[in-house]
A and B are shown apart, each in its own frame.
Chain A
Amino acid sequence: MSAIYILWLRELKRYVRSRAQIAASLGQPMLYLLVLGFGLGPVFQRAGNGSYLQFVGPGVIGMTVLFSSVFSGIGLLWDRQFGFLKEMLVAPVPRIQIMIGRTLGGATVAVIQGLLVMLICLIAGFRPQSFLTVPLAMGFMVAIALVFAGLGVAIGSSLQDMQGFQLIMNFLVLPIYFLSGALFPLVGLPKVLAVITRLDPLSYGIDGMRSVLLGKSVFSPITDLLVLTFVGAVLLIVGAHRFSKIEI
């Protein structure tokens, strides 16, 4: 238990100490929120869908949690690089505990980032149907964070160097974001796109947040939660397995 705690604590300390990184990681969601939110707003309104800022808010929060949690897993590459991974791997602690502590730390950081972006959304004019639903939205953030922290660990354990990182970013993380319904409603889509968006786990996370924050959803929040739990469990098991196989 104490090993899990200290690994979790390490992730948080590193996060709090990298102020420049916190600012940088909030820049991108702000760009999406403000530029798209206000830029596409009029068109969205005319199409009869209401406020785009309201619509894109949960999408941008979901994106933040996605990026932050995937990167925490890929951070394993940095630990490998700076040698700290070895210090963890020779310690008399089962690897599963190391993986759990690290993943929980990364997920916690991702949720904090999500909450910061939610705060920015509120300042920009985003309004949930009731502030009482915010904790529920947080529950979905946790679910998204765990799903993608699992994916991040699986990737981080498998990659050997930074070259693969760009590939993962362009062919996995960005598509997960763009195909999740973060930026456009998942209704009336062409057949192929409809199928792909339904295979993207982030779709369910963002849909879940929309359903609790705005009362609008494509799937039901129960479906969302079930899908996220299932995919999260699978990815965490895969991540743990990949992590247990690391050799340096």
Chain B
Amino acid sequence: MIRVRNLVKQFGSFTAVDDVSFDVEEGEIFAFLGPNGAGKTTTIKMLTTLLKPTGGQMELDGLDPQVEQTEARKRFGIVFQDPSLDGDLTAWENMEFHGVLYHVPHKLRRQRSEQLLKLFELWDRRGDQVKKFSGGMKRRLEIARGFLHMPKILFLDEPTLGLDPQSRNQLWNIVKQVNEAEKVTVFLTTHYMDEADRVAHRIGIIDHGKLVAQGTPKAIKEQTGKESLEEAFLALTGTIIRDESADATDQMRQFAKMWSREKR
């Protein structure tokens, strides 16, 4: 379903993704793990047409996302690392907006929005503006939205960041459920090794832009001779802490936080 060959992305002299190759089969849940700044999000951005790779080939459901952009975009849904909802619109309107952009027919759109909002326990709050939602509710809404157009592939970039254990647990249950029911291929990244161990069929570990291991969670543990995935992960990527420098977007986000606090 996803095929990546020798993918490279350079920002100036810095190589964010360095000759990465992997495959994800149809209906599979594939976890992409790595420390901060390892190249996970950059890989997702390239797969989802937001960034142009410096080199290499990609295929989504047999389509090259660079060449057949629009067709490829119809095939996938994505939940970004940071929120991408419109806070001024209601939950229902955010779903509607998404459905229209993805050309989901009117009747099906309503039906599916209702079904998904109920599944994610947001139906009662559908008429509320999203800015009034808690972090967990926003996250759930984003994932519900990602499923709306029945994508063949779902990208989840750290979907559980900042959620409490209850919400995380519920979220993965639903993801597993939809993965089984609709045969959606899931490509996810997370920092919680236990989640990856529990949910993913296969795992790829990336560090400094290079893929250092891939296989089933069991195989990776055996390969490193460790008991848990966390230990295996540390054995593969080392224990040095990586710091990402704040980019313009982070700075702006901080600026916005300052503002919204003043308003209140």
Contact = CB atoms under 8 A, between A and B. Distances in A.
B71 interface: yes
| Interface of chain A, main secondary structure | helix
Interface in A126-162: 160-162
B248 interface: yes
Contacts of A248: 45, 50-51, 249
Given A3-B100, A80-B249, A91-B73, A86 B50 contact: yes
Nearest to A95: B69
- Interface size band for A: 20 to 34
B101 A88 contact: yes
Interface in A1-28: 2-3, 5-6, 10, 13-14, 17-18
Interface centre among A90, A160, A248 (most CB of B within 10 A): A90
B84 interface: yes
A87 B98 contact: yes
A93 interface: yes
Interface centre among B51, B70, B129, B248 (most CB of A within 10 A): B248
B143 to A, nearest CB: 13
Contacts of A80: 249, 252
A195 to B, nearest CB: 37
A10 B85 CA distance: 12
B82 interface: yes
Contacts of A247: 50-52
Nearest to A5: B100
Interface string A82-119: 11111111111110000000000000000000000000
B71 A18 contact: no
B93 interface: yes
A169 to B, nearest CB: 16
Contacts of A94: 70
A162 B87 contact: no
Contact of A82 (B96, B100, B251, B256): B256
A33 B73 CA distance: 50
A81 interface: yes
A90 B100 contact: no
B101 A93 contact: yes
Contacts of B78: 90
18 contacts: A2-B103, A6-B101, A10-B86, A14-B86, A81-B256, A82-B86, A83-B80, A83-B85, A86-B84, A87-B84, A87-B86, A90-B78, A91-B73, A92-B73, A161-B252, A161-B255, A247-B51, A248-B50
Interface of B: 45, 48-52, 70-71, 73-74, 76, 78, 80, 82-89, 93, 96-98, 100-103, 129, 248-249, 251-253, 255-256
Interface of A: 2-3, 5-6, 10, 13-14, 17-18, 77-78, 80-94, 160-162, 247-248
Which 7 pairs show the lowest CB-CB distances between chains A and B? A83-B84, A92-B73, A91-B101, A6-B100, A92-B74, A87-B84, A160-B248
